[in-house]
Amino acid sequence: MSISQKTAWIQLIIFAVLIVAWAALFAIKGTIYYWEDEGMKNIFYYLSAGAFAVLVGMNTTVTLATRGRTNLSDERDRTIFRKDSLWATGVSYTVVAGLMLATAIAFMSRGLASIPVYFPLFIVVVGGALLLLVQGLVAVILYERKVHHAGN
Amino acid sequence: MAPMQKRAWWGLILGLVIAAALVAVFVIKGDVTRFDDDPGFRYIVYALWIGGLLVHIALMGLLRKPNQVDERDRAIMERASKTQVNALIIMLVVWSIALTEAYWSARAVPVVYLTIIFISSQVVNAVAQSLGIIIGYWRMERGG
């Protein structure tokens, strides 16, 4: 397993755990409006910050551990990176745009002219987590496919 | 100049003109919340947005003849997608921070901003694609 493949797996696990933890938090509290409860707000921020910090830590560790080494990635890694980035951007942009429009429609249909100040940040954080989750997921799938093809 | 490069320049000019026109419309109208109440305001914005988008799609996609695009153009377009991704991420982060800071004391953001963010994301996406292609050709011509 190459370093890129390992980091893709770790990235997938980090953001899958984050999204499951968010879903559990929202289900337990019965709302996605995390800002309405100080405790829930702190948990939401700690979970999000923790996931992004672990990702930064992993990437920094990999960069430091592989410093000076060449040929760590080949053409296959670069192709997979291009494809997973495109998928991740497409999916996360679609979700962010969909969330924004759905929120706008939901609030306007209830006659509300404004949304809570936390909403834009919430949508962007969800979009960011989804981008990294999809990137990891697509990379893992593409690596598995390539391995199977190579095996055949 | 390669046909793709020429179209990217036209795309960039068009994108910047549309962006400037949209900003001008919002500045002239003075208050974003009038977007909800003023149909004329909305129709101007929709016309600029959809018109610009259609022209951009025609410029970058539909009018492209298959034999005008070679391996080099495809590589440049692939790299341009990185510029698009970065521009979109930066734009969303800037919007979320700016709105949070601007409306923190009121604790509420006018809902119309969600539509504005959506429209601006498409304008930024189109401009960044053209810019990415232009940068790609520029780097290639410098031997990159």
pLDDT tens digit sequence for A94-128: 998 888 888 888 888 888 889 999 988 898 899 99
A49 contact B CB<8A: no
| CB distance A91 to A136 below 8 Å | no
Report d(CA B34, CA B19) in Å as an integer. 19
Residues A132-152: tens digit of each pLDDT: 999 999 999 999 886 666 555
Contact criterion met (CB < 8 Å) for B88 and A89: yes
pLDDT confidence of residue B144: 57
Inter-chain CB pairs, A–B, below 8 Å: 78
Helix (H/G/I), strand (E/B), else coil: A69? coil
Query: Which one of A82, A99, A114 would you mutate to disrupt binding with B, by most B Cβ within 10 Å of its Cβ?
Result: A114
Give chain B positions within 8 Å (CB) of A121.
96-97, 100
Q: What is the mean pLDDT of residues B91-101?
A: 91
Kindly write down the DSSP assignment for every residue of B91-113, as one continuous string: HHHHHHHHHHHHTTTTTEEETHH
Find the chain B residues whose C-beta atoms sit closer than 8 A to any C-beta of A: 33, 36, 78, 81-82, 84-85, 88-89, 92-93, 95-97, 99-100, 103-104, 106-115, 117-118, 121
Contacts of residue B51, defined as CB under 8 A and 6 or more positions apart, other chains included, come to: B18
pLDDT confidence of residue B101: 93
Question: Structure pTM?
Answer: 0.79
Give the pair of three-digit tokens for residue A66. 């592989």
Q: Which residue of B has its CA nearest to A79?
A: B78
Q: Domain coordinates of chain A in residue numbers?
A: 3-151
Which of A120, A103, A114 minimizes the C-alpha distance to B35?
A114
ipTM metric? 0.71
DSSP class of B60: I
A86 contact B CB<8A: yes
Please name the helix (run of DSSP H) or strand (run of DSSP E) that holds residue A97, with its range, or none: helix A75-109
Residues B44-85: tens digit of each pLDDT: 999 999 999 898 888 877 666 667 677 788 788 877 888 888
Looking at A123-127, B87-91, B127-131, B140-144, which range is the least confident one? B140-144
Average pLDDT, chain A: 88
Contacts of residue B113, defined as CB under 8 A and 6 or more positions apart, other chains included, come to: A120, B32, B95, B99
| CB distance B35 to B42 below 8 Å | yes
Helix (H/G/I), strand (E/B), else coil: A78? helix
